[in-house]
Amino acid sequence: DAAINRIAAGEVVERPASAVKELIENSIDAGATRIAIDIADGGKTLIRVTDDGYGIAAGDLSLALSRHATSKIDGSDLLNIHTFGFRGEALPSLGAVGRLTITSRVPGADAASIRVAGGKLEAVKPAALRAGTVVELRDLFFATPARLKFMRTDRAEAQAISDTVKRLAMAEPAVTFTLRDVSGGGEGRVTFRADRENGDLFDALHARLARVIGREFAENALQIDATREGIRLYGYAALPTYSRGAAVTQYLFVNGRPVRDKMLTGALRAAYFDFLSRDRHPAAALFIDCDPTLVDVNVHPAKSEVRFRDPGIARGLIVSSLRHALAEAGH
Ligand code: ADP
Ligand code: MG
Q: Is residue 147 part of a domain?
A: yes
Q: How many angstroms is it from 5 CA to the middle of ligand 2?
A: 15
Specify the pairing of strand 34-40 against strand 176-181: parallel
27 and 151 belong to one structural domain: yes
- Residues 213, 190, single domain; the answer is no
How far is ligand 1, taken at its centre, from the CA of residue 134, in Å?
12
What gap in Å lies between CA 275 and CA 268, rounded to an integer?
12
Amino acid of residue 116:
V
CATH number for the domain spanning 185: value is: 3.30.565.10
Residue 199 lies in a domain: no
Q: Do both 40 and 181 map to the same domain?
A: yes
Residue 268 CA to ligand 2 centre (angstroms): 30
Task: Indicate if 143 and 238 belong to the same structural domain.
Answer: no
The reply to whether 213 and 189 lie within a common domain is no
Using an 8 Å Cβ cutoff, are 279 and 244 in contact?
no
Distance CA 135, CA 94 (A): 10
Q: Say yes or no: 151 and 218 in one domain.
A: no
* Domain membership flag for residue 204: no
Residue 314 Cα to ligand 2 middle (Å): 27
The closest of 323, 306, 224, 317 to 262, measured between CA atoms, is 306
Contact assessment for residue 204 and residue 174, using Cβ atoms and an 8 Å cutoff: yes
From the CB of residue 245, how many other CB atoms can be counted at a distance below 10 Å? 7
* Closest CA relative to residue 167, chosen from 140, 188, 194: 194
Cβ–ligand 1 distance for 86 under 6 Å, the answer yes
Q: What is the DSSP letter of 12?
A: H
**Residue 202 is assigned to a structural domain of this protein:** no
Local confidence pLDDT in tens for the 331 residues of the chain: 666 666 666 666 889 999 999 999 999 999 999 999 999 999 999 999 999 999 999 999 999 988 665 666 554 444 444 455 546 788 998 999 999 999 999 999 999 999 999 889 999 999 999 999 999 999 999 988 888 888 999 999 999 999 999 999 999 999 999 999 999 988 999 999 999 999 999 999 999 999 999 999 999 999 999 999 999 999 999 998 886 665 678 999 999 988 888 899 999 999 988 877 666 788 999 999 999 889 887 656 555 678 898 999 999 999 999 999 999 998 8
CB distance 51 to ligand 1 below 6 Å: yes
- Rounded CA separation 164/161 (Å): 5
Among 135, 170, 194, the domain-final residue is: 194
Alpha-carbon distance 72 to 284, whole Å? 31
Residue where a domain terminates, one of 164, 194, 224: 194
Question: Do 225 and 296 sit in the same domain of this protein?
Answer: yes
CATH of the domain at 322: 3.30.230.10
Residue 7: inside a domain, yes or no? yes
**Domain region containing 298:** 209-328
Residue 245 lies in a domain: yes
Residues 27 and 140 in one domain: yes
pLDDT of residue 273: 86
Q: Domain check: are 73 and 187 in the same one?
A: yes
Residues 147 and 250 in one domain: no
Strand segments (E) across 8-76? 34-40, 46-51
- Same structural domain, 52 and 153: yes
71 lines ligand 1 (CB under 6 A): yes
Single out the residue in 142, 169, 194 at which a domain terminates.
194
Together in a domain, 66 and 28: yes
**Which one of 11, 12, 70 would you pick to mutate in the ligand 1 pocket, going by the greatest count of ligand atoms within 8 A of its CB?**
70
**What is the whole-number distance in angstroms between the Cα of residue 152 and the centre of ligand 2?**
24
Among the bound ligands, the one closest to the CA of 34: 1
Q: How many domains does the chain contain in total?
A: 2
Q: Is 150 contained in some domain?
A: yes
Q: pTM above 0.80?
A: yes
Does 84 reside within a domain? Answer: yes
ipTM confidence score: 0.99
Nearest Cα neighbor of 57 from 117, 110, 125 is 110
CB of 30 within 6 A of ligand 1: the answer is yes
Pairing of strands 99-105, 112-117: antiparallel
